[in-house]
Amino acid sequence: MAVRQVTEAIELSEVKDLGNLSKPEVLTGAQILIKALEAEGVDTVFGYPGGAVLAIYDCLYESNIRHILTRHEQGAVHAADGYARATGKPGVCIATSGPGATNLVTGIANAYMDSVPLIAITGQVSLDMVGKDSFQEADITGITLPITKYGYLVKDVKDLARIVREAFYIATTGRPGPVIIDIPKDICTQKAEFMYPPEIDLPGYQLKPYRNGKQINRAAQAIMRAKKPVIYAGGGVIASGAHRELLELAEKLNIPVTITLMGKGSIPEDHPLCLGMLGMHGTCYANYAVSECDLLLAVGVRFDDRVTGRVDTFAPNATIIHIDIDPAEIGKNVPVDIPIVGDVKLALRDLLKLVEPRERRDWLDTIEEWRRRYPLHYEDDNNGRLKPQYVIEQIYEITRGDAYITTEVGQHQMWAAQYYRCRKPRSFISSGGLGTMGFGLPAAIGVQIAHPEATVFDIAGDGSVQMTSQELATIAQYNLPIKVAILNNQYLGMVRQWQELFFNKRYSQSEVLGPDFVKLAEAYGIEAVRVTKREEVRPALERALATKKPFLLDFWVEREENVFPMVPPGGSLNKMLGR
């Protein structure tokens, strides 16, 4: 089996206590798999059964592991992804061979792009039928080679326990990511002595101890010399649990913090030092600050093109310090002056020991002036027309910023990122790198399963939510109290916006006819309401929150509203439309 070279990781992470599993017993492959999942502390799996995994499902029937039956394998992998992002624990999904496995591909790529720990278990045809174009056969380890951190095809039942142990270790250590375990049908029924490995021996995946003393010293000196520094925080801050260290560093040094879409929640967004998101749809003051800064401390980010815009004009006057656990990200998109490879939390702790408190009144005053002159805004003439930004503001106010938000992908996603200010990590769940339409609804299932008492909103677009709207049935079956808020403009909104701005309003195939979402929800047994006027928004939200059941809100918003500000693709951050 060909496998991709695993990215070398830096810090050795702890592995959990596996309890007393030292007593060998003879089990089938399916039983071994379930035992191994239990040993890893898995409490929930998301999946869809089929012929090649029936033995596994038969074992699940007697297991304490909860199985959530989605209506499509893509729903299962996104739900597992949402569960992982909301908890920090690996999400687990199961699909059968062939089309079941290939239906996971988009979700696996989504998790890979956003560094989400995920275990995808797929069924395979029997070993003697592999490579013969057998019924429902697909080379899923080959197909997913570029989008997984590692992939296993199990060829001997005696290897299965070790493989599961290794898969969880690889998925959760270093830079997190998805690992696939492809299990042939006959392996599930063959028997072997089960003993869960107490230790892992992976010569090709050596985690190096964190050692960055010299570079940390250089970084600390540069930070203390800087007059106009900015911290640029991404998803790596949340993945490493470094949000407290980030806030302490920012407050100690009075450095403003701008965040990426994946970094939402890494600092409370109502904090005076928070500049909100930067990049294509970032705030003007964040983009101006990065364009004018003399030092950029990039923490757990990858300099995505949606953030940098035109690279040669990105932070042109800044000394750039980049902290990231993946050495492959250092210098990949933007030249870096001081690279620090390692866990973000450890690096920030080391920095905190070396820096002294610093006032930066002039720099903060300059930013406050930009914030005053160029705030996030939209035209709300209060004539009853429904603005999508207003809907999100009301969701923020009624939940007091304490809800878990999932999003689909498009205009509504950017409005949610702009107007819903997160106060805690792991509370804003969105598809960043891959930009996967249809992600938010099934991801909300995973989030609600992980946090059954929490308020969970899926902020959706009418085009995007139709990609996976069959998962309303899953929400109804398990009575998950998810609130689905659709910003319905009968367009593929972001496509239409680009056509308006860059293609002379030639709206080619961007107007979409959706279903009656209220009737659709009711068909699944979900209460729903349509909202067309400004004054109806708050009562509708109050009604949705008053119920402990799922609820769908179909907001008919102004059709040709645009997301501003906007940096044109390939443009410079300081040249924004609609500022």
Residues forming the active site: 73, 135-136, 185, 494
Q: Please name the residue that has the structure tokens 């490879």.
A: 341
Q: Are 306 and 288 in contact (CB under 8 A)?
A: no
In whole angstroms, give the CA distance from residue 117 to residue 171: 5
Tally of CA atoms within 13 A in the half-sphere of 518 that contains its CB:
9
- State which H helix or E strand residue 496 sits in: helix 493-502
In whole angstroms, give the CA distance from residue 452 to residue 481: 8
The CA distances from residue 160 to 142, 187, 533, in Å, are 19, 9, 57
Q: For residues 502, 506, 510 and 511, what is the CA-based torsion angle, rounded to 10 degrees? A: 140
Nearest to 541 by CA among 483, 486, 489: 483
Q: Which amino acid type is present at position 347?
A: A
Alpha helices, DSSP H only, in 54-98? 54-60, 73-87
- Name the phi and psi angles at 466, rounded to 5: -70, -15
In whole angstroms, give the CA distance from residue 497 to residue 273: 31
Q: How many CB atoms lie within 10 A of CB 134?
A: 15
The CA distances from residue 93 to 121, 162, 221, 446, 477, in Å, are 6, 19, 46, 11, 18
Q: Are 146 and 463 in contact (CB under 8 A)?
A: no
Which sign does the torsion angle of CA 358, 362, 363, 369 carry?
positive
Nearest to 167 by CA among 197, 126, 123, 190: 197
- Tell whether omega for the bond before 565 is within 30 degrees of 0, i.e. cis: yes
In whole angstroms, give the CA distance from residue 191 to residue 173: 30
Q: Please name the residue that has the structure tokens 């069924």.
A: 123
